[in-house]
């Protein structure tokens, strides 16, 4: 049975744009170029566009699922396989969003440790960050959405600074176009899709949307925005770096900031990294909110208690991820997990919903 959400806790359809876009523009944008160009070379921007276009089909399926069951993913699972089995399946998404939040936060701390403060404590940074996240989530879903809004709008000025790189870019690096095989372009799209995941949260906060039918266009517009943003940065990176250089740049976006020179700051990448704290904050807050809401829906534990439990687990586990190799393993696992949920599980769930609907009608 779908939980009834009071009207005062719901958000307007247009705010879905900020929820989706803020989840897609996260830590991955700082260094996605290397993994995509590894396969599709100068045609990597085509891989980015292709991945972005495919996501619109998945969003269409997400809305069809939510509309058929008039609820979230927990309701969808109960609709297909019953209450008990449905809750068991739904509970698997608690570790999914926990791992997602853990990956984002640990990757950001690594950037700080490599680029700014090598001696910064992973534990104490996480402790302070979790206090902030708990404070935000305790404010309710609308506060979390507000953080997603500000986390996208306030740091948006950073993208204007990439204009400095255009002066030194050689766009002949993009030629010849379509020189890469279809197989490699698809492999590049696969790598890109690992970065673009996050929009699937619609399936989890759908009941909180006022007039959800009107939010469809905003969800698709958010996908279009993030796709164009990633494509633009990819084109600029290919033109700015040589092929050999981009393959060795773990954080190509950050490296491009090194050329920015302003009268009041010598190392602009420090400003960029500090500002990026606002970008990853909604990533972590939304993920913890979704995981704690699932705990409440499935195990009937108070939402606030669920948030604290997740924060404590985050604090304990993150300290053990202390090497570059472990962070790479975590990132790869999270990417594959997100790809499996987005491109395999959601279409499978959509098919099951359609079959269940036909059976129930008969």
What pLDDT is attached to residue 194?
Answer: 79
Mean pLDDT of the chain: 92
Predicted model pTM = 0.94
What pLDDT is attached to residue 77?
Answer: 94
Give the whole-angstrom CA distance, residue 54 versus residue 60.
Answer: 10
What pLDDT is attached to residue 154?
Answer: 92
- Contact assessment for residue 138 and residue 362, using Cβ atoms and an 8 Å cutoff: no
- Tell me the C-alpha to C-alpha distance, in Å, between residue 324 and each of 15, 110, 121, 269: 36, 8, 15, 21
Enumerate the β-bridge partners of residue 307.
Answer: none
- Tell me the C-alpha to C-alpha distance, in Å, between residue 307 and each of 205, 283, 301, 302: 16, 15, 10, 9
Q: Is 220 inside a domain boundary?
A: yes
At residue 1, does pLDDT exceed 70? no
Q: Is 129 inside a domain boundary?
A: yes
Tokens at 304, concatenated: 């606030």
Q: Is 358 inside a domain boundary?
A: no
CATH number at residue 141: 1.20.1740.10
222-230 average pLDDT score: 95
Q: Is 43 inside a domain boundary?
A: yes
Q: Is 359 inside a domain boundary?
A: no
CB atoms within 10 A of CB 162: 19
Count of structural domains, the chain: 1
- Residue 12 in 3-state DSSP? coil
Which residue carries 């570059």 as its tokens? 324
Q: What is the DSSP letter of 262?
A: B
Q: Is 94 inside a domain boundary?
A: yes
Render the burial of 278-297: b for 16+ CB within 10 Å, e for the rest: bbbbbbbbbbbbbbbbbbbb
What pLDDT is attached to residue 249?
Answer: 85
Q: Is 73 inside a domain boundary?
A: yes
**Those residues with Cβ within 8 angstroms of residue 238's Cβ, 6 or more apart along the chain or in another chain:** 33, 37, 42, 44, 45, 173, 174, 246
Give the whole-angstrom CA distance, residue 176 versus residue 137.
Answer: 49
230-243 average pLDDT score: 91
C-alpha 313, offset from chain centre: 21
What pLDDT is attached to residue 131?
Answer: 97
What pLDDT is attached to residue 3?
Answer: 65
Which residue carries 């909110």 as its tokens? 289
Q: Is 357 inside a domain boundary?
A: no
What pLDDT is attached to residue 243?
Answer: 75
Give the whole-angstrom CA distance, residue 103 versus residue 119.
Answer: 20
Tokens at 7, concatenated: 């009207």
260-276 average pLDDT score: 84
CB atoms within 10 A of CB 185: 21
Q: What is the DSSP letter of 157?
A: G
Q: Select from 337, 331, 333, 341 the least CA-distant residue to 105.
A: 331
**Those residues with Cβ within 8 angstroms of residue 244's Cβ, 6 or more apart along the chain or in another chain:** none
Dihedral sign of CA atoms 90, 51, 26, 66 in order: negative
Enumerate the β-bridge partners of residue 209.
Answer: 11
Q: What is the DSSP letter of 6?
A: P
Dihedral sign of CA atoms 254, 260, 263, 266 in order: positive
* 293: containing domain: 8-352
At residue 205, does pLDDT exceed 60? yes
How would residue 286 be classed by pLDDT, with cut points 50, 70 and 90? Answer: very high
- Contact assessment for residue 202 and residue 66, using Cβ atoms and an 8 Å cutoff: yes
Percent of the chain beyond pLDDT 90?
Answer: 72
pLDDT tens digit sequence for 62-102: 999 999 999 999 999 999 999 999 999 999 999 999 999 99
Q: Select from 342, 324, 261, 343 the least CA-distant residue to 31.
A: 324
What pLDDT is attached to residue 315?
Answer: 95
Q: Select from 146, 110, 105 the least CA-distant residue to 129.
A: 105
Q: What is the DSSP letter of 11?
A: B
């Amino acid at each position: 049975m779908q939980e009834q959400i009071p009207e005062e806790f719901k958000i307007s359809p247009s705010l879905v744009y900020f929820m989706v876009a803020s989840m897609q523009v996260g830590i991955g944008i700082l260094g996605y170029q290397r993994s995509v160009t590894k396969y599709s070379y100068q045609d990597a921007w085509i891989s980015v566009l292709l991945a972005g276009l495919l996501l619109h089909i998945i969003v269409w399926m997400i809305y069809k699922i939510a509309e058929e069951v008039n609820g979230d993913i927990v309701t969808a699972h109960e609709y297909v396989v019953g209450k008990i089995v449905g809750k068991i399946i739904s509970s698997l998404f608690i570790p999914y969003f926990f791992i997602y939040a853990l990956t984002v936060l640990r990757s950001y701390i690594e950037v700080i440790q490599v680029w700014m403060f090598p001696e910064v404590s992973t534990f104490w940074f996480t402790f302070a960050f979790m206090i902030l996240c708990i404070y935000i989530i305790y404010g309710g879903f609308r506060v979390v959405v507000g953080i997603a809004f500000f986390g996208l709008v306030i740091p948006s000025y950073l993208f204007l600074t990439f204009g400095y790189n255009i002066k030194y870019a050689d766009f002949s690096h993009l030629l010849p176009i379509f020189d890469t095989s279809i197989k490699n372009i698809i492999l590049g799209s696969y790598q890109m899709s690992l970065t673009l995941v996050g929009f699937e949260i619609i399936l989890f906060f759908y009941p909180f949307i006022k007039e959800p039918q009107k939010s469809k266009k905003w969800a698709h517009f958010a996908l279009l925005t993030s796709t164009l943003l990633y494509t633009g940065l990819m084109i600029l990176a290919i033109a700015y770096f040589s092929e050999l250089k981009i393959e060795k740049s773990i954080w190509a976006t950050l490296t491009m900031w090194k050329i920015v020179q302003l009268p009041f700051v010598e190392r602009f990448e420090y400003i960029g990294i500090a500002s990026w704290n606002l970008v990853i904050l909604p990533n972590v807050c939304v993920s913890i909110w979704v995981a704690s809401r699932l705990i409440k829906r499935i195990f009937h534990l108070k939402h606030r208690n669920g948030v604290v439990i997740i924060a404590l687990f985050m604090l304990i586990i993150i300290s053990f991820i202390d090497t570059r190799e472990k962070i790479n393993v975590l990132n790869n696992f999270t990417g594959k997990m997100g790809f499996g949920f987005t491109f395999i599980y959601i279409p499978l769930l959509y098919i099951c919903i359609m079959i269940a609907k036909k059976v129930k009608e008969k």
